[in-house]
Amino acid sequence: MSTNQDIIDRDLAVLWHPCTQMKDLAKLPPVPMRRGEGVWLEDFDGNRYIDAVGSWWVNIFGHANPVINDAIKSQLDTVEHIMLAGFTHEPAVALAERLVRISPPGLDKVFYSDNGSAAVEVALKMSFHYWRNTGHGEKTRFINLTNSYHGETLGALAVGDVSLYKKTYEPLLLKPLTARSPDCFHREPGVSWAEHSRACFAEMEALLAEHAHETCAVIVEPLIQAAGTMRMYDPVYLELLREACDRYGVHLIADEIATGFGRTGTMFACEQAGTGGISPDFMCLSKGITAGYLPLSVTLTSNTIYDAFYDDYENLSAFLHSHSYTGNPLACAAAIATIDEFERRDQLTHNVALAKRMHDATAHLADHPHVAEVRQTGMVMAIEMVQDKSSRTAFDWRERRGLRVYRHGLTRQALLRPLGDVMYFMPPYVISPEQIDHLATVVTEGIDIAAST
């Protein structure tokens, strides 16, 4: 039987981990996971951990979910993969039908790829190419928000705004126009989320007024800037943005990679804007689409966009973008089973009670001397740790206080991977109220330890 140390030694000899300074692993080695079940992960030495972050926000129905397991096993006996250029298969068609049915109105076509960054790349290229096909080749730019994140490939990275990921590669990137984020952490005392988000829209309006003639699309993460330390804003901003994009003739790209599939309280965050939600011109989905089982992403768009590419071959207006594993049948089967689980469990209704328990379990932290804000949108809870509460002065980032909370969590059966000094819960929906209470206790202990040492 392998032990944790056996796997760690083998790992450090050959693996280069993502989003990691590898020198850190000499002192804080990776945790080798042997198996998972529900919210639990278990290492080779028998230690167990609640997966409070959904394994990078992908796991929504627990590890080793029997329904999704069976769907993948069944598909495996039929066909494991077939290229989607010139061929098709039932899982790809069935999933596309389901996605069109559950997504906002007007998103009628599904383009498959295999990860979130790729879905964003597709939307960027498709928007630019649409304008080119329709005689507007002058439209070559994109508008983003401060503190936004849309992935690590060069196009997706270019339209993000988190310096930690982007700064090194600036010489390689296209240059977006950037509007102030409606992030409500920065609102003045006594100002509501809606008032602050509405006021922030003035800058976006000004950019559109000046640059619409050269702009392909605005790209936003609806309601939550996830990698931007889980900063949140009011749905009114999306309502205003949809209206302005229509008025100025600019596409709207909704990056729902992190916010889709129930994370914000509705199936998609865009549904919360206005009285009946908004429909973007492009919606990018990944992460929870397969409940964390297999890589898959989609870019949904309208028939209007699709029709601009529908032409005789010799006119060379087709969208010639592809990935080898596009529409993989196993991944599509997992995604169909994931949507089935939402319906079978009435999960969105159940999440209302879970979200309230998360709120109640962490409410005491609002008065903590080293917590600037406890914020929540649906099943996403974030706790921002600071040096001084009254001035909201942050700790020196080099002190890595959040990492201390993470290390404490590992001693208390909790996998809490912070974003800087922001602790957050984004757990599988199969978590119990008692497990939520435990996470709240552990994060409180961790903040006390991290802030005092």
One pLDDT digit (tens) per residue for the chain, 453 residues: 899 999 999 999 999 999 999 999 999 999 999 999 999 999 999 999 999 999 999 999 999 999 999 999 999 999 999 999 999 999 999 999 999 999 999 999 999 999 999 999 999 999 999 999 999 999 999 999 999 999 999 999 999 999 999 999 999 999 999 999 999 999 999 999 999 999 999 999 999 999 999 999 999 999 999 999 999 999 999 999 999 999 999 999 999 999 999 999 999 999 999 999 999 999 999 999 999 999 999 999 999 999 999 999 999 999 999 999 999 999 999 999 999 999 999 999 999 999 999 999 999 999 999 999 999 999 999 999 999 999 999 999 999 999 999 999 999 999 999 999 999 999 999 999 999 999 999 999 999 999 997
The pLDDT value given to residue 170 = 97
The pLDDT value given to residue 445 = 98
- The answer to whether the beta carbons of residues 257 and 297 sit under 8 Å apart is yes
Environment class of 66 (CB within 10 Å of its CB; exposed 0-12, middle 13-18, buried 19+) = exposed
Strand extents, DSSP E, 259-389: 282-285, 297-301, 371-377, 380-385
The pLDDT value given to residue 268 = 98
The pLDDT value given to residue 317 = 96
The pLDDT value given to residue 1 = 82
**What is the Cα–Cα distance from 50 to 42, expressed in whole angstroms?**
9
Buried b / exposed e over 350-363, threshold 16 CB at 10 Å, is: ebeebbebbeebbe
Environment class of 12 (CB within 10 Å of its CB; exposed 0-12, middle 13-18, buried 19+) = middle
